[in-house]
Structure 1
């Protein structure tokens, strides 16, 4: 037998031979050799485009693709039965067996099984995320907690449909090498999942469905479409079996929604309003463009802000015009059984947010916790009734301009001292968890992932480099941020105790936060320098 074309550069983890078969690795290697050169070109294009956009004051709708936007005839492929009703979707990492069972049993119509922002890509997490999904589809997954409580799958007809999110194009999987080069994490995650599960899912009456993160252009969507077409042909899966929902979570993608759907039209299922990464993208893209693009505290930027309303209403109109699902943003609240009064206040905010999305025409929305599934479902049940979606609401009343999408300076809010401290607190606590291998963690009652950590450190960077003056009159400087971070680190040591502090990754997290928040050279994604610290 010929040697596998992929070198696995990691200590083995339990059961990895079930995922890393010779045939599966050969498939990943073929994806890598065929598509990684194009991935590299598109990443280089991103950097040049950002510099040009910062000079120009923002993107606009592309003149060279006007014919796509103006053609009223084209539509995306019809949704398969398993994806027709998406009124509630729950998100969470696939690398935790208990979370896998709970997400599938949650009552949500869809589970976003996450290999991206909610998963720290340790080798164990990468392999066991794949194993957990295989085990779930084979109904051999269960989990017994230390106290003896057993978690097992409910009836098949009540389980959520899995939509898997691979890593973004920018991240590599350093443990899988082909011709001496790391395989892009996107191709590793997609390739292993598709190879092992495409036929299995078809037998279950479903299919290989994906969420595509952090796309910045329709050319990146075209690359994914070519990956899908090739993978289906290679494994003898009928063309068009794959379905993809794209997260519109970058400012450039917001100007190319129709083009993205067009490129993926034989495989497209919908678009999602990825609100946290969208704010991160705004800060990142215009981080050195002056005060016009300075955002206030992240929690002050709600979905009712005019530029966010423009983004979400354009998304609904675009999706329904082309026969695609429009999926709303995340409810990140984590209920606490110890504080019913605070719970009710937070739940009322969630209800108001989901009521607004349903009224605006969204076909479904995201939650981060099983307890929020019935809350979101109630909002959409009122509007949808027995219908699976509301694609018939074309929202032809919506007219969105480039200026409206970029009207960040119209916000009636400013950065505050409390907001700066919160950015340091969230960044420190999240990164400590991530560096220990946990990618989704509750911080101050909200489920945080990489996207919210990105906003925290990017706002710190922007406020320092723009010389923002806070509500109390204090100017944001690198020295002020270092002082806040040192005080927060000391507070954490006092809070958790000396032994737990020493056993954690607190000092590493502190140093990493200051690096990605204060270095003159802005890291496009904090996970790039962080990945080198993961697993030692």
Structure 2
């Protein structure tokens, strides 16, 4: 098989299966059975590409994850995040700009987010959103079936043959030509996640799980990059969970290599980075700079950002204790500082600033719930549009016209407001770290709500459903992370509720009993497993960095 970078996509896809298998067999091993049509995604040539990605970048990934660990230790010992003095020259240089919008990304005023299963993909592509965030990360439970069948959904969608028939016999199809549908932007898994069903054997003979990031990116890019370009768009990505600009540099190196490998012009890829960790908030311009030839913008990933703050400062004393998660709104001072800095940093460099997702969702069977959701989303999107954001996220098709109306009112016919510089913004490290400014309180009801949400979400996740409507809010891994990490912090800080009760083990066990008693059990539910996972991630002395990592290793 020709594995040189100059080999064309057609040459790779038609290469001898036997030659490819000999190349791959010693390097990449798929350990799960192939389901229907999996061989269309897990082709020998695609696995060669995954092997090449791991050969070149797995080592750097491990080094960067080790650096994350050291940063966590330093922060726990009292060292606050800061604007890096060694990269001040990047922030002070007024000249550089990012590549900016690419075909299909010029207007991003409303983006719909959701997992990549066939039904949800069809619903997203039939919507009136400008962009579909095809989510292989927080909205997807990474079962083997979800990972590969999500790739099949995207593969079929881009070739005009995506369909789905429900168990009740209802048929779903994309209602228009793919070029008229929302632009697809794939979100692969974060650097910390592995794909345990694929193993990589490096050149030194070491055996390890494949990187979830490289698997998701690699399979999508290999099969669809050329097709996307034919359609007048391109291979676009949302990059999650970054904690350092060197992690952005790694992605940029991967983009350069991948484009060379498939003979695609450099700079075709576009990435939007989610700023959803407190560490990344101090390196926004550096992240833009590292990705500048492939960068479209930044996104304010609000829920993971809140989780990151709880996780980062969980052992630093009561000053860092946040109130009920419902009290942590986008208007509290430290969250406002974060979003203002994001818009200012993006527009300074010619990048899009994309707003986050309000968790409220409508209920078509309950007009009162829907009215409250519309009012909450209207206020949220009006604030974002007024602050200079170029677009925003929604999680439900019925919210698209609500969000679009607020951005239409500000944008008019303009595709974005990148030219609107926010020279009035001046955000300091103290502003970003002003956690006490959140105000609010911890209540008995807030404790029970966090326990209940975390358990119910974990149960859904264990059944392979990564985005779940719970109490008229859209919950995903990020919002569940807030719930369980707050419980851990409240417990370890002996937080006293507004009602005067000290949060200790007995209190949380009682709250769990209350939450469990209210559960609606059903045949095949995974509540017993979810309760066990919750105990591990919220009640044990050690704090698991992510709640799904251990559950993935044990249950999926």
Query: For this structure pair, what is the TM-score category when the shorter chain's length is used for normalisation?
Result: over 0.9
Aligned residues: 528
Deviation at 1:57, TM superposition (A): 4.8
TM-score normalised according to structure 2 size: 0.94
1:230 aligns with 2:251: no
Q: Does 1:439 align with 2:466?
A: yes
Q: Is the 8 A contact 2:344 2:423 kept in 1?
A: yes
Aligned residue for 1:303?
Answer: 330
**Residue in 2 aligned with 1:44?**
66
CA contact (8 A) 2:111 2:129 kept: yes
Alpha-carbon offset, residue 11 of structure 1: 2.2
Say if 2:553 is the partner of 1:532. Answer: yes
Moved over 4 A (4+): none
Do structure 1's residue 278 and structure 2's residue 300 form an aligned pair? no
The answer as to 2:420 corresponding to 1:370 is no
Alignment partner, residue 161 of structure 2: 140
Aligned to 1:113: 134
The answer to whether residue 87 in structure 2 is matched with residue 55 in structure 1 is no
**Residue 340 in 1 paired to residue 362 in 2?**
no
Deviations 1:280-333 (Å, cap 9, x if unpaired)? 000000010001111101111100000000000000000000000000010222
- How far apart are residue 155 of structure 1 and its match? 2.4
* Aligned 8 A contact 1:364 1:380 in 2: yes
Contact map agreement 2:452 2:515 (CA 8 A) in 1:
yes
Question: After superposition, where does 1:451-530 map in structure 2 within 5 Å?
Answer: 451-492=478-519, 495-496=520-521, 500=522, 502-530=523-551
Of the structure 1 ranges 333-342 and 28-37, higher mean CA displacement relative to structure 2 is found in 333-342
Write the deviation string for residues 193-214 of structure 1: whole angstroms up to 9, x where unpaired.
0000000100000110000000
Mapped to 1, the partners of 2:123 and 2:320 lie a distance apart of: 40
- Determine the structure 1 residue equivalent to 2:287: 260
Deviation per residue, 1:379-412 (Å, 9 max, x gap):
1000001000001110100000000001111222
Q: In structure 1, list runs of 5 or more residues that go unmatched.
A: none
Q: Specify the SS of the correspondent of 1:532.
A: helix
The alpha-carbon deviation at position 534 of structure 1 amounts to 2.7
Q: 15, 35, 43: which one pairs with 1:13? A: 35
The alignment partner of 2:531 has SS state of helix
What per-residue deviation string (whole Å, max 9, x for no partner) do you get for residues 333-365 of structure 1? 221122112211221111010001000000000
Residue range with higher mean Cα deviation, 458-467 or 137-146: 137-146
* Equivalent-residue separation in structure 2 for 1:441 and 1:411 (angstroms): 27
Q: Per-residue deviation at 1:148?
A: 4.1
User: Residue 77 of structure 2 aligns to a residue in which SS?
Assistant: helix
Is residue 269 from structure 1 mapped to residue 296 from structure 2 by the alignment?
Answer: yes
Map 1:169-188 onto structure 2 (within 5 A).
169-179=191-201, 180-188=207-215
Q: Distance in 2 between matches of 1:277 and 1:78?
A: 25
- 1:127 counterpart = 2:148: yes
1:393 to 415, 420, 429: 420
What are the within-5 Å matches in structure 2 for residues 171-210 of structure 1?
Answer: 171-179=193-201, 180-210=207-237
- Aligned equivalents of 1:163, 1:119: Cα separation in 2: 15
- Taking the aligned partners of 1:11 and 1:487, their CA distance within structure 2 comes to 41
- The 8 Å contact of residues 270 and 296 in structure 2, kept in 1 or not, is answered as yes
CA RMSD of aligned residues (A): 1.1
Q: C-alpha separation between the residues in 2 aligned to 1:78 and 1:487? A: 50
Superposed CA deviations along residues 131-152 of structure 1, whole A, max 9, x for unmatched, are 0000000010112334443321
SS in 2 for 1:244: strand
* Secondary structure of the corresponding residue to residue 391 of structure 1: coil
Q: Are the counterparts in 1 of residues 327 and 438 from structure 2 also a CA contact under 8 Å?
A: no
**DSSP 3-state at the match of 1:266:** helix
8 A contact 2:110–2:393 mirrored in 1: yes
Equivalent residues of 2:334, 2:434 under 8 A apart: yes
Give secondary structure in 2 for the equivalent of 1:106: coil
Distance in 1, Cα, partners of 2:475 & 2:105: 27
**8 Å contact kept, 1:333–1:369:** no
SS at match of 2:455: helix
Contact 1:516 1:523 in 2 (8 A): yes
Q: How far 1:22 sits from its partner (Å)?
A: 0.3
